Each structure stands twice: as C-alpha cells, then as structure tokens.
Structure 1
Amino acid sequence: MVSAQPILKSSEQGPSRGTLIFGKKLDDAQVRKLSKIAGFSASLSSKPKPSENASPFRVKTSNEHAIKGILILNDLNGDPAATLSVQSKRIIYQKGQQAIFAFLITLLAVGAILLLALYFALDHLVVSRIVTLIETIRYIRQSDRLSARVLARGKDEIGGLAKEINGMLSSLQAYQQQLSRQAFYDPLTHLPNRLLLMQKLDEITKKQDGHTAILFLDLDGFKEINDTYGHACGDMLLVEVGRNVLRQLEEGDLFCRLGGDEFIMLLSNWANRTELLGKVHAVIREISRPVEVESRDVTVTVSIGISLYPDNGTDPEELIQKADEAMYRAKRAGKNLYDFYAF
C-alpha cells in the first residue's frame, strides 16, 4: 500500500515544497495480523470482481450471522488493484433477534398465564356453576324430589337462572302437593280417601308384621239430617265428625272417608282385644256427641264393623269387605253398635 501527501507549511497554505510518499507492504500475513488485532475476519484479493468496481467501498450481509465490508484498493494510476474484505459477526442484529425472541417468549408466557387465569375464572364463575346446575337438575329429575333446590349464588345471569329454576321447582312442588291432595284426600273433610287407604293397607299387609284392626263406620240417621236440614248442614256435620274422630287417633292410625257417610279407620296401636274395644267405644262416644251446626245441635250415632289383619285375611279388599259385612250386622242389631267379622 502506498500513500502520498503534499508537503505544506503548518498553515497548510502556499505552494507545495514537495511530496511525502510512504508505503506499507500488505500481504496475507499482514491481513491475518490485522484480523487478530481487530477481532474480525479479513482477506485480501488481488483481483477485484467486475461487480465490485462500481463502488470503492460497500457493505453487505453475508448471511444472518455475519456482515461483510469490501474496500477496493487502487494503484498509483487509480486503477483497481486489490480488494480488502472484512467480515464481522452481526452482533447488534443477533442481539436484536435475541431480544425479539425473548420478548416473544415473555409475551407467550404472559399470554399463557392470562389464558390460564381466564380459564380458572371462567371455570369458577361459569363452567363449574353450570355443571352443578345440570347435576342438580338431573338429580331432581331422577329422584323426583321437587323439594330439592339448585345453588343460587351471584347476581349474574347464571345466578338469575338458578333463582328462576328454584321458583319453577317451588311452583311445581306446590302443584304436585295440590294434585296429591286431590288424588289422596277427600275434598270436603280433607280426610284421606279410598286411594290412600288402599296404599296404607297394602303397606301393612306386605310387611307381614303386627296386627291391624279395620273399622268400617257408617253414620246412623245421617239421611234424615240431610232431608231435614239440607245437604249443606249434612256436609258441615261430616266435617265436624271427621275433626272429632281425628282427636282420638294415635300415631300410625288412619281415618278415611270412603264417600257419603261411610268411613274406614285403621288401628294398629293395641295389644289385645280389650284395649282395642276401649278404642272402639271411645270412637262411638265421640261421634255420638252433639255437634253444633248452623246454631243447632245435631246428633248422629255410628255402626261399626271390625275385621282383623291377619286373622281375617291378608288381602286389603277382602279385609274391607269383611268389615263392611260386620257393620251391616251391627246396623241390623239396632245401630250405634259394633260387631266383629265372624269366621
């Protein structure tokens, strides 16, 4: 390499006093030494490529990891004589890539955490509550327990839906109870009817345990009261008779109205016939007491027929029929009496 500079005064003015020429031999060994000192790769080529002649110095990227600088060295005549190539790592580019990669990783991690948090929030606030709602509704449907309720918490749409479902269940439960009363209870006296009586008798006979007395009751003189005072008075009398007899019952006993002035009573809490007869006499006395209806005292008596389970059979219909036969014998014997079914 050769360089020439004019010799001037220190003021750099005036004519040149001469020319200072200095040179440095630049070969592959010097280039390697330069590379070692500078910390980058350098190479010297004595034959510049035609495409490199356009610009004495330019920079280009070799690949995504390195950048290359090319310097055209001219001879004393100004013609291209050699090419000095310098290649260095793209440190800034690589650090930028690393920074972008780290940013993307951080962004993905934050996004994953947010999605996970959103999932748990949705699971707690929405999914788990909907699953609980579905499971409770399935349980109610399978068990037919309209008294059960779904968990209603929160003031959002799901909480509102749960409250509406509970309201619907309350309405259905009330309607079911109303239907049950219509199906199993007498609308006038509100006593159990024949359907509930047969269910109770069926339970008793299937248990095959203990004993039960079936009392068939028929009021004496009820038709005359209806004819004399009217059906409204007769209905009020039936209601009062039902209330009075219910006071004589113990837990496990049952008093039903079959229709008209006929009733059935099931008595299970007795140890022997003497104790049973004491209960029968108490019922007769209770029904025979005067009842005030429309400001007048009305009196009826009762004829009672009695069959015993299991002594007189185990079939519910058969037991009722036998008690009915015994009741008619009591009426024929003079009314206001009781009679047991005779084998």
Structure 2
Amino acid sequence: MNIKGMLSTWNTLAFKVRVSLLFIAIVPLGIYLVINNWLLSHHLLELENKNIISKTHQAHRVLDAKASELSKLSMDYGIWTDLHEKVINPDLPWIKENITTWIPENFGMDLVVIANKNLDIINAFGTPHKKLDQLLEKEIIEHVFTNIDNIPDNGALSGFKIFQNELYLISLCPILRNDYSGPYGGMVVIGKKITPAFLEEISYQYGYEMFMYDSAHIVSSRFNQTKAQRALSLFKQTNENVLHMDKATIFGVDAINDISGVPSGYLFIMEPRELNIILKNNLIAILGCIIIILLLTIRIKRSIVNPIKDLQLQISKMGKENTLSYVNIKGTSEIVSLADSFNKMIDNLHRHRLENENLRTLSITDDLTSLYNHRFFYEYFDRLTSNGCKNICILFCDIDHFKSVNDHNGHVIGDILLREVGRIIKAIVGHKAVFRYGGEEFVIVLDDYFVDSAYKKAEIIRLAVNNSSLIQKYSSYLPITISIGIAAYPSDASDIDMLIDKADTAMYFAKQNGRNQCHIYRPFMSKSFKSVRYAKKRIEV
C-alpha cells in the first residue's frame, strides 16, 4: 500500500473510531490498576486520617458556635437595665415570669440561674441550689466579675461544665445596665444539657455520626452503645486522636475542656472506613478516566462531530430560510463524500424546484392581467381562515358597459382595459391579493379589514378607474366605470360560496342603482335582487 493509500485509510471514520475506542478501553483500565496498587496503599490511608481529623475539628467548631449562641443569649438578658433593677430591688414574680420561666419555654434551655452580687440565687430553673458558688467554682465567678470591661468586645464567658454528673454547655454574664454603667447587680447563668436529642439535632444538620464522653457517661445521637463503648475502650488504650476500629469504621477524637480550661470529656466522630476508601479510590480512577475520555472526545469531536454538526447547521439554515445552497464541509473522507453527494442532490432539487415554482406560478396566474386567477381564490381564502384570520372583506368588482365597449372597439382594446383596471387595483391595494375572477370581474381579498375601511378602499378604486385617462379615451359613447360590492367574513357569511354570492349581490345592487357605485352588502339586497350567478343557473336548468 502506498503512502497516499495509507493516509486515506487513516483519515476514514471507521479507523478513527476503532483507535479512539481502543484508547478508551485500555487507558482507564491501566490507570485504575496503578491507583489500586500504588495510591491506595501509600496515600489513601494518610488522606483518610486527615479527613477524619478535619471532620472532628469541624464538629468541635459547631459546638463552639452553639456556645457562642448561648453567650449571645445570656448577654441579651444579662445586659438589661430592667433585670438589673429587679435584682438590686428583688422582684421575684417579675424575674420568674420574664427570665427563669420565659427562657426555658422559648429557647429550650435546661438551666437558668439569677443570682445577686452576694452570690445568693434569687430564682432558678433546673437546679435546687441556693448559692451560686455551689454550682460554680469561685475562681470562675471572680473571673467573670473582674473582666466586665471586656464583655462588649469578647462577649460573655461560655463553655462546657459538668453539673450533677451531666455535661452542660453554659454561659455566664454579669447583670449590668444597658449602657454597662454602674455596679454589677449579680449574674445570669444559662445552660443547655448535652443530651442525645441535642447531638441528634447537630447530626441531622451537619451529617456527623458523633457521641460525647464526659469522663463518666457516654452521650450519643444515633450511635450503637456497644460500638461507642468499643471506641472509648480503644481510645483509653491508645490515647490517639484517630482510631481504626476495623476495616469498616474509623473514629476521630478531640478533647473537650470545661469553662475553666480543665479537660471535661471527649468528642468522637465516626466515618465508614472501607466504603470511604473505595469511594475515594473509584473517584480518582473515574476522574483519570474522564480526563482521558475528554481528551479523546475532543479529538473525535474535531474530526467527526464538528463536521457533522456543521453540515446539520447548514442544512437547518436552509430549512429556516427556505433556500437551497451548497454545503462546504471539511472532515474525514466519508463526511466530505457525504457533503459532495448532498451538493449533487441540491443541484437536482434546485432544478426541480424551479420547474415546480414556474408550474405553480402558471397554474395560479391569469395570463392576461398577471393577477391571481379564479382557481387560486378558494385556496387562498381557505389558507387565511386556517391561519386564524378573523376579519376578511371581499370586494367584488365588475367593469360597467365592458361588453358593449369590447364589442364596439374589439378584443384588443378590451384586453387593454382589463390589464389597466387590474394594474390600478393592484397599485391601490398593494400586497393584498387581487384575482381576475372571470371576464370583466375582479375580486379583492382584504384580510384584517372591517367593512368601513374596505368601503373607503373600494371608493378609491372606483374613483381611480373613473379618472383614468387611458381607460376613458375608449369611452366614446359609454363611460367606462366600475361597480363594487362588499361583503364581510364572518359577519355576512362564514362560507366562501355564500360570501362571494353576497358580495356579488351588493355589486349587482350597485349596477341596478346606476352603476359606478360601491355598496356594502345588506340583507334586504338578497330579498330585492337575485344574484346574477343564480339567474344563470336557472337559465342553464
């Protein structure tokens, strides 16, 4: 095989598709095997550990955000002039109604304490203690009171605390006036117990499988208690922040300090290990395959898809513009051959189309006047009504005394008159359809016209014929004028034959009343006059 033949073979669509599919099948498989034997064993374990540590820190930050919300709530009520006054001058009913009852009911808090500056608890919810230092260490209380000036910038003190052997998220705020002036009145303590429901809400919002250990109890959301105990036992043995329980589960662990900075428990986050690794492995393999496939697809697109799409766009453009033109395509040998065959077909279609258009024009055109003929009138009217045209007026025109003028001057003059009348009508109505209906009769179709506008148009035609010097020079003894009858669709008739008959009746009425007139059809005309066509039919019968 010579070089030219080889190049021709390589440029075929079949060869390109075979080579592309071969690469698509072999390359991704090779990438997948490399990833399984190298990346999985050397790197995915490290990525897995980093991922669980990152999620553990994220879960801890979620708890810190909950503490910040609690801090804001304690400040909203602690920095309040009304409460400051009610604590200095104790008003137990007010405090109970607006603080220790309101906050639990509306914010779901489990601990609310109002204490005066002597640390006496004035009223509380969730604890039986009477002194604040029975709940909190004196160092924490003194820290709050000695850092009052930092509250506007840093917020209220908040964090974890164990009460009555249960873990709480609490916030402490001194009771101050709204403008932070004057002496402090006491302290507000608000707490939220870390319960399974609390953790379940976080798990639902952020998708963490989690539990907490407060040095005595396990508080879990959706966790199996046995699995949690196993994780806790493994952590106590290893004291590591990543626990590989088995091939299916991995845990991340983060320490939780209480409000004074002392360790008070641990946060555990679980991830399904094997599935996670498999998913990552498959994802990397799939991404590699996608990249290779995309590169191959780009190549296929340039050599195959783009030329075919270009061909399709050029053909679509012909359809929209209702034209026939050659296509110019560059691509594989098969596509270029297809374009050549299409261009040959276009040559044949163009020739047949010209022939059909000429035949069509001849079939619907009157030879003498070059107007539309009688046969095309019914087709044209049906097309208008099928397209939803609602208001159509028919102008039925008849040249007055034409037979006498034609007999007196000859058919040559008669043909001149017919052509001139047709020209005048066409010049006045413009793009509206004009038909030579038969002999000296013309029909004008005015779509989207009402009868008043149609009448004005008819009068213009009548005057133009009456004032035409070319026409009137043959009116030696009889004036050559035109009578016009007007009927409207659908108000006068919804059937084309009846519509023509009524327009004819109105025209005949114009002739009977002296000719050279325009008349709109009225029902009384049908009673007073009989259509010329009906009279002819009776004669034929």
Residue 320 of structure 1 and its aligned partner are, at CA, apart by 0.6
- Tell me how far apart the structure 1 counterparts of residues 436 and 15 of structure 2 sit (CA, whole Å): 58
Unaligned runs of 5+ in 2: 17-299, 331-335, 524-541
AA matched with 1:266? V
Secondary structure of 2:428's counterpart equals coil
Any residues of structure 2 matched to 1:167-316 within 5 Å, and which? 167-206=347-386, 209-251=389-431, 253-270=432-449, 273=452, 275-292=453-470, 297-299=473-475, 300-316=480-496
Any residues of structure 2 matched to 1:148-159 within 5 Å, and which? 148-151=324-327
Any residues of structure 2 matched to 1:31-110 within 5 Å, and which? none
Residue 340 of structure 1 and its aligned partner are, at CA, apart by 2.5
Unaligned runs of 5+ in 1: 1-109
AA matched with 1:198? Y
Secondary structure of 2:397's counterpart equals strand
Which structure: greater strand fraction? 1
AA matched with 1:310? P
Seq. identity, %: 27
Contact 2:389 2:448 in 1 (8 A): no
Gap change, CA 1:225 and 1:164, over 3 Å in 2 = farther
AA matched with 2:470? E
Greater Rg by CA: 1
Residue 190 of structure 1 and its aligned partner are, at CA, apart by 1.1
Contact 1:147 1:170 in 2 (8 A): no
Q: Say whether 1:119 aligns with 2:119.
A: no
Contact 2:486 2:518 in 1 (8 A): yes
Gap change, CA 1:114 and 1:168, over 3 Å in 2 = closer
Contact 1:291 1:298 in 2 (8 A): no
1:77-132 CA-partner distances (Å, limit 9, x unpaired): xxxxxxxxxxxxxxxxxxxxxxxxxxxxxxxxx9xx868614249999xx99xx99
Residue 170 of structure 1 and its aligned partner are, at CA, apart by 2.4
Which structure: greater helix fraction? 2
Gap change, CA 1:162 and 1:337, over 3 Å in 2 = same
Contact 2:393 2:450 in 1 (8 A): no
Contact 2:396 2:507 in 1 (8 A): yes
Match of 1:319 in 2: 499
AA matched with 2:435? C
Secondary structure of 2:516's counterpart equals coil
Gap change, CA 1:157 and 1:272, over 3 Å in 2 = closer
1:127-163 CA-partner distances (Å, limit 9, x unpaired): 99xx99x999x99xxx8x9843342669x98777555
Q: TM-score, normalised by structure 2?
A: 0.35
Secondary structure of 2:429's counterpart equals coil
- Tell me how far apart the structure 1 counterparts of residues 373 and 396 of structure 2 sit (CA, whole Å): 13
Match of 1:61 in 2: none
Contact 1:305 1:323 in 2 (8 A): yes
Q: TM-score, normalised by structure 1?
A: 0.53
AA matched with 1:220? D
Contact 1:146 1:173 in 2 (8 A): no
Task: Detail structure 1 runs of 4+ shifted over 6 Å in the superposition.
Answer: 121-124, 156-160
Contact 1:240 1:291 in 2 (8 A): no
- Tell me how far apart the structure 1 counterparts of residues 363 and 436 of structure 2 sit (CA, whole Å): 13
Match of 1:81 in 2: none
- Tell me how far apart the structure 1 counterparts of residues 15 and 464 of structure 2 sit (CA, whole Å): 67
- Tell me how far apart the structure 2 counterparts of residues 271 and 341 of structure 1 sit (CA, whole Å): 13
Secondary structure of 1:311's counterpart equals coil
Contact 2:483 2:516 in 1 (8 A): yes
- Tell me how far apart the structure 2 counterparts of residues 207 and 246 of structure 1 sit (CA, whole Å): 23
Secondary structure of 1:278's counterpart equals helix
Gap change, CA 1:122 and 1:256, over 3 Å in 2 = farther
Gap change, CA 1:319 and 1:153, over 3 Å in 2 = same
1:149-205 CA-partner distances (Å, limit 9, x unpaired): 342669x98777555433322221221111111221112111112232212322333
- Tell me how far apart the structure 1 counterparts of residues 451 and 463 of structure 2 sit (CA, whole Å): 21
AA matched with 2:464? E
Gap change, CA 1:114 and 1:330, over 3 Å in 2 = closer
- Tell me how far apart the structure 1 counterparts of residues 511 and 420 of structure 2 sit (CA, whole Å): 22
Contact 2:402 2:414 in 1 (8 A): yes
- Tell me how far apart the structure 2 counterparts of residues 193 and 233 of structure 1 sit (CA, whole Å): 21
Contact 1:205 1:315 in 2 (8 A): no
AA matched with 1:254? A
Contact 2:389 2:447 in 1 (8 A): no
Secondary structure of 1:314's counterpart equals coil
Gap change, CA 1:118 and 1:338, over 3 Å in 2 = closer
Q: CA RMSD in A?
A: 4.2
Gap change, CA 1:337 and 1:272, over 3 Å in 2 = closer
Residue 301 of structure 1 and its aligned partner are, at CA, apart by 0.7
**Of 325, 337, 340, which residue of structure 1 is paired with 2:517?**
337
- Tell me how far apart the structure 2 counterparts of residues 247 and 342 of structure 1 sit (CA, whole Å): 28
